[in-house]
Structure 1
Amino acid sequence: MGSVLTHMTMSLDGFIADRDDQVGELFDWYDAGDVTIPTPNPNVTFHVDAAGAGMLEELFGKTGALVCGRHLFDITDGWGDRHPVGAPVVVVTHQPPDDVSRWPRTTFVDGVEAGIARALEIADGKDVVVSSTTVAQQALDLGLVDEVCVSLVPVLFGDGIPYFGALTRGHQVLDDPVVVPGLRAVHLRYPVRR
């Protein structure tokens, strides 16, 4: 069975977007290098440094499903039903869109626990990546996350949407990180201590 990871790009002070859902300089690292990483989405190609390329290729290669919340799904219009990671998407929502047939590679599930379970089924032994803040926080609270991954970029937002918020079960201890320094981002992988 695959692992459940969270992964997001985050400012040094802990934000994944500003209050208006704008990522500003956070995604600069996706276009800061000379290694071209095509994605299954024909509208998205990354140009990163060698360290970022290695991290993305490993992440993409091992991901069998991606989990997000309805808010992120709406902001991106479901990535045109072709997320750049190339895996099917599971959207955790109480209210699926009226026309779910627009997204045949997307599954809509009510509840984080059910969403992670469905994503693990879809992933068929590969990893599941969670890429929404509230879904990640709830999955951490439920003990469903195996690893927390952060692409940490050298910018301070001062305010915005935090990657992490209050955890209902209190502190979550992580093991020592794997650190991959790169151009415009340091990639961190923290196994969750059980």
Structure 2
Amino acid sequence: MGKVICNASVSLDGFVAHPDNNPGRLFDWYEAGEVEVHTASEPATFHLTPTSAEYWRDWVGQIGCLVVGRLLFDITDGWKGQHPLGVPFVVLTHEPPHDWTHAHTGNAHFVTDGIEAAVAQAQQIAGDRTVALAAGTIAGQALAAGLVDEVAIDLVPVVLGEGHPYFADVDPALVRLGDPTVVIPSTRVTHMVFPVQR
């Protein structure tokens, strides 16, 4: 099986979105360069710096499945069944939607049995590829359960002051990270990856 990795753009004070779920300036780096990067959700494109584009393409090329929570699924309407990264996704929820318009795509898988079951299903779908976890509650639950191999952070030089933390509902004593294995400075962002120490 591949690695299980949390990933998100995060502010200097540790938030991945404002209280109203708007990422605000955290995504500015997606339009900070001249390299056009296409997503699976055409016509959506990014314009990254060459450094960020290389990092982003390498990261996305490893992903076989995503795990997200119900809040993100609802905010995005499940990306209308086609995630911009072009991979299937597992939604951890107490109650799967019964009338979701885009269920026919077959890209969304709903799990109600907890984070361990959600990650296990994502690993089955991903095979030898990476399972990527959304930040917030999903990342916090997975880290607390000992399921995370690495934490990837796109550190953005902004301060939000409040909002949704990268790791929600997790005992800080459980967050033990090693020295970064990746540190790539770029325009409006620094890409970093930390191994999780168990």
TM-score normalised to structure 1 length: 0.95
Distance (Å, rounded) in 2 between the aligned partners of 1:43 and 1:96: 29
1:1-194 alignment, distance < 5 Å = 1-100=1-100, 102-103=102-103, 104-110=106-112, 111-168=114-171, 170-177=173-180, 178-194=182-198
Q: How far apart are residue 40 of structure 1 and its match?
A: 1.1
Q: How far apart are residue 86 of structure 1 and its match?
A: 1.2
Distance (Å, rounded) in 2 between the aligned partners of 1:45 and 1:148: 25
Q: How far apart are residue 169 of structure 1 and its match?
A: 7.7
Distance (Å, rounded) in 1 between the aligned partners of 2:127 and 2:68: 18
Secondary structure of 2:174 counterpart: coil
Secondary structure of 2:36 counterpart: strand
Distance (Å, rounded) in 1 between the aligned partners of 2:172 and 2:27: 31
Q: How far apart are residue 168 of structure 1 and its match?
A: 3.8
Distance (Å, rounded) in 2 between the aligned partners of 1:142 and 1:126: 21
Secondary structure of 2:173 counterpart: coil
Distance (Å, rounded) in 2 between the aligned partners of 1:118 and 1:165: 22
* Unmatched tracts of structure 2, length 5 or more: none
TM-score normalised to structure 2 length: 0.94
Secondary structure of 1:189 counterpart: strand
Tell me how many residue pairs correspond in the alignment: 194
Identity among equivalent positions (%) equals: 46
Asked whether the equivalents of residues 67 and 132 of structure 1 are also in contact (C-alpha less than 8 Å), the reply is: no
Equivalent AA in structure 1 for residue 72 of structure 2: L
Secondary structure of 1:170 counterpart: helix
Q: Deviations over 1:99-145 (max 9, x none)?
A: 25623210000111100000000001100000141011000001000
Distance (Å, rounded) in 1 between the aligned partners of 2:160 and 2:197: 29
Q: How far apart are residue 52 of structure 1 and its match?
A: 1.0
Equivalent AA in structure 1 for residue 92 of structure 2: V
Asked whether the equivalents of residues 183 and 193 of structure 2 are also in contact (C-alpha less than 8 Å), the reply is: yes
Distance (Å, rounded) in 2 between the aligned partners of 1:101 and 1:116: 25
